[in-house]
Amino acid sequence: MAETINQWAVITIVLSGIALCFGVFFIRNHNREAHMRAMLLASGLATLFLVLYLTRLGMGYEKKYVGPDQWRTAYFALLISHIILAALNLPLALGALWNAYQGLKAAGNLGNIDAPAARKLFNRHRAWVRWTVPVWLYVAVTGWIIYLVLGRYGEIVKG
């Protein structure tokens, strides 16, 4: 059961990363509604990933690296940076979402985001996402790499 949960966790975070990329594409092309939908999808999938990941850990399913010794340092450097930035990503994403939500609430609709009260909040949203998007993508990509490495060089730890 835990292996299936793990596979679904990976699927959700891959789809979340893809939705995030689409969200960036949409906003760069001034498609605010598609951007909002893509980012809500990315956030929902990332939340589902977190639930699945924590469930898997709660079930005691974990893998440890047993690969080549010459890769050990690089693997653990990647893993440590992944863990630190994953922990940082949650408050970054929440800050970005909060400012977007408050901005939309102040604007009333996406066509009115240049209203003074809304503009200030959307500017804050943009400031948050300058950090959030690269961190989120780094965490997603390194997570996929870690998953692939442990698929080849991982040993299940019984908890």
pLDDT in tens, 52-84: 999 999 998 899 999 999 999 999 999 999 999
CA dist 144 and 12 (Å) reads 11
* Spatial CB neighbours of 42, under 8 Å, sequence gap ≥ 6: 16, 17, 19, 20, 23
Q: The domain spanning residue 43 has which CATH number?
A: 1.20.120
Question: How open is the CA angle 79-38-24, to the nearest 5 degrees?
Answer: 70
pLDDT at 159: 59
pLDDT of residue 19: 97
Strand partners, 63: 156
Question: What residues in the chain have per-residue pLDDT under 50?
Answer: none
Q: The pTM is what?
A: 0.89
**What domain range includes position 44?**
2-158
Give the pLDDT confidence score for residue 152 in this predicted structure. 95
The whole-angstrom separation of Cα 53 and Cα 36 is 25
Query: Where would I find the beta strands (DSSP E) of 51-125?
Result: 61-65
Token pair 């969200």: residue: 23
C-alpha 14/C-alpha 42 separation (Å) is: 10
Token pair 């996929």 in the structure block, residue: 144
Dihedral angle over CA of 98, 85, 53, 148, nearest 10: 130
Name which of 157, 130, 153 is nearest 59 in CA terms.
Answer: 157
The pLDDT score that the predictor gives to residue 97 is: 97
Q: Are 58 and 2 in contact (CB under 8 A)?
A: no
Q: Looking at the 3D structure of the chain, how many domains does it have?
A: 1
